[in-house]
Amino acid sequence: EIVLTQSPATLSLSPGERATLSCRASQSISSYLAWYQQKPGQAPRLLIYDASNRATGIPARFSGSGSGTDFTLTISSLEPEDFAVYYCQQRSNWPWTFGQGTKVEIK
Amino acid sequence: EVQLLESGGGLVQPGGSLRLSCAASGFTFSNYAMSWVRQAPGKGLEWVSSIISSGGSTFYADSVKGRFTISRDNSKNTLYLQMNSLRAEDTAVYYCAKDERPLVGATPEGTFDYWGQGTLVTVSS
C-alpha cells in the first residue's frame, strides 16, 4: 500500500499569505495525485487532479506541482474561505490512499 | 447540476447489517465508475470500494473485503453498499463519489469530482 505523508500537519497563516502544502508518497506514483479541500461538516471538494490540473471552477490561486514522490499544493494568497483541511490522494496503485491531511488555520 | 444523495445510514449493533444507497442525477450515471469513501469521526478519508460503469468489476479495501458489497442499478441511477458483519471500526460518515472522467478502460479512474453529503453509520451496542 502506498503511504502518503502530508506536511505540515497544521499551517497557521494570515489572509493574503502564501500557503505551501507538501505530500510525499512512499513510492513513485507518476502524476496520479489529486488534492481535495474539506471544510467542517462538508464533503471534500476536488481542487487539483493529475498533480497540476485545476478542477472545474477552482480559482487560479490554487496550483499543484510535482511528480514521482514529491508534490506541492500552493495557495498563492489565502482568502478567508480557504481555511480548511487539505488532503492528497493517489490513484496510481490499489488501494487508492489519502494523506492524513493538513489543516490550514487562521493565525 | 450533478447531485449525489446518500441514504440508509444509522445505528446498528456489532455484527449487524446495513445497506447504503446513493441516488445520482445531473449526469449520465451509466458512463461513470462510482466509489464509496468513508471518514471516521475526527479522522481522515479512507477509500472503501469502487465499481465500474457496467457493474461488471468491483474493487475493495482490504478492511472491508468479504463483508461489504458494492453494486449499482443503472436503470435507477443508484449506487449501493451492502455492509455485513459490521464492526465498531466501521463507524464513519460514508460518502459516494463520482469519477472525474467517463470510464475508458476496465478500471475506475480514481479522481473524485463530485461527492454526496455523506451518511453516518454508527456501529455500537
Q: Kindly give the residue spans of alpha helices, DSSP state H, lying in A6-107.
A: none
Q: Which of B37, B59, B117 sits opposite A94 (nearest CB)?
A: B59
Please count the other Cβ atoms lying within 10 Å of the Cβ belonging to residue B30: 15
Asked if A44 reaches chain B (Cβ–Cβ under 8 Å), the answer is yes
Residue B73 to residue B70: CA distance in whole angstroms: 11
Distance from CA of A44 to the nearest CA of B (A): 7
Residue B72, amino acid: R
Asked if A91 reaches chain B (Cβ–Cβ under 8 Å), the answer is yes
User: In three state form, how does the secondary structure of B54-115 look?
Assistant: CCCCEEECCCCCCCEEEEEECCCCEEEEEECCCCHHHCEEEEEEEECCCCCCCCCCCCEEEE
Render pLDDT for A44-86 as a digit per residue (tens, 0 to 9): 999 999 999 999 999 999 999 999 999 999 999 999 999 999 9
**pLDDT at site B90:** 98
Using the predicted structure, report yes or no on whether residue A94 has a pLDDT greater than 90.
yes
Segment 2-21 of chain B within 8 Å of chain A by CB: none
DSSP per residue, B24-57: EESS-GGGS-EEEEEE-TTS-EEEEEEE-TTS--
Asked if B45 reaches chain A (Cβ–Cβ under 8 Å), the answer is yes
Segment 72-91 of chain B within 8 Å of chain A by CB: none
Under a CB-based contact definition with an 8 Å cutoff, are residues A73 and A88 in contact? yes
**pLDDT at site A81:** 97
Render pLDDT for B67-97 as a digit per residue (tens, 0 to 9): 999 999 999 999 999 999 999 999 999 999 9
Render pLDDT for B13-58 as a digit per residue (tens, 0 to 9): 999 999 999 999 999 999 999 999 999 999 999 999 999 999 999 9
Residue B123 to residue B125: CA distance in whole angstroms: 7
